[in-house]
A and B are shown apart, each in its own frame.
Chain A
Amino acid sequence: AQKVTQAQTEISVVEKEDVTLDCVYETRDTTYYLFWYKQPPSGELVFLIRRNSFDEQNEISGRYSWNFQKSTSSFNFTITASQVVDSAVYFCALSKGTGGSYIPTFGRGTSLIVHP
């Protein structure tokens, strides 16, 4: 069975602070995909990144960066110099990579509040 744990329920920071959102996953599959989504108050989930289990390279996209470590089954997300517009709920998700339907498992989400 797959499981995604986002232990931080809510994080509150002041604008320009760096913030890291934690994600720990469990799976027996050797091939899998990890995702991060952002959910603003409007409700739709916005795709941020996808990483497959064979690619442990960290990725940076502007103020966003992701740290994937298979040894600790973690896929953490860092926002550098946070802005008020970053306020949202962020979800980490896991999907198997081969065979059958690709049913994703989502974590419970971390609510990020960035104060001006």
Chain B
Amino acid sequence: DAGVTQSPTHLIKTRGQHVTLRCSPISGHKSVSWYQQVLGQGPQFIFQYYEKEERGRGNFPDRFSARQFPNYSSELNVNALLLGDSALYLCASSLVQSPNTEAFFGQGTRLTVV
């Protein structure tokens, strides 16, 4: 079975541009979460989606948005990129929305904003 897949793996963007990151969860998983991990820090929660609805949002500006599709894949969009948005963006999927359910992480998308 394929694990959580994220695309692209690496990305370089210019300040002010827009970016879309994609995540395909493990087959059968209905919950997807997004995290931002700045170099040297732990992952910071951005969004959680379950059954195509937003179920949680971290402390990020409105430039960050996401959605989940009927096949449970997800996109994270970031507008008006800033240098500080440079980070590893991780996607995690789980069967349901519960802390008692193991979350599986993808290898992330490394975003560099120049």
Contact = CB atoms under 8 A, between A and B. Distances in A.
Interface of A: 4, 33, 37, 42-47, 50, 52, 91, 93, 95-97, 100-109
Interface stretch (B13-21, B35-43, B65-73): B35-43
- Quick one: which of B45, B56, B97 has the most chain A CB within 10 A? B45
Given A4-B42, A33-B99, A44-B90, 16 more contacts: A42-B107, A43-B107, A43-B110, A44-B108, A45-B90, A95-B99, A101-B56, A102-B56, A102-B98, A102-B99, A103-B45, A103-B48, A104-B45, A104-B99, A105-B45, A106-B44
Contacts of A45: 43, 90, 92, 105
A111 B44 CA distance: 18
Interface in B84-103: 88, 90, 92, 97-100, 102-103
Interface of B: 3-4, 40-45, 48, 55-56, 58, 88, 90, 92, 97-100, 102-108, 110
Contacts, number: 61
A66 B70 CA distance: 39
A43 B88 contact: yes
Contacts of B90: 43-45
A50 B101 CA distance: 9
Given A43-B88, A107-B42, A101 B104 contact: no
A23 B45 CA distance: 19
A95 B98 CA distance: 10
A101 B97 contact: yes
B64 to A, nearest CB: 15
Given A91-B42, A91-B43, A101-B56, A44 B102 contact: no
Contacts of A104: 45, 99
Contacts of B41: 108-109
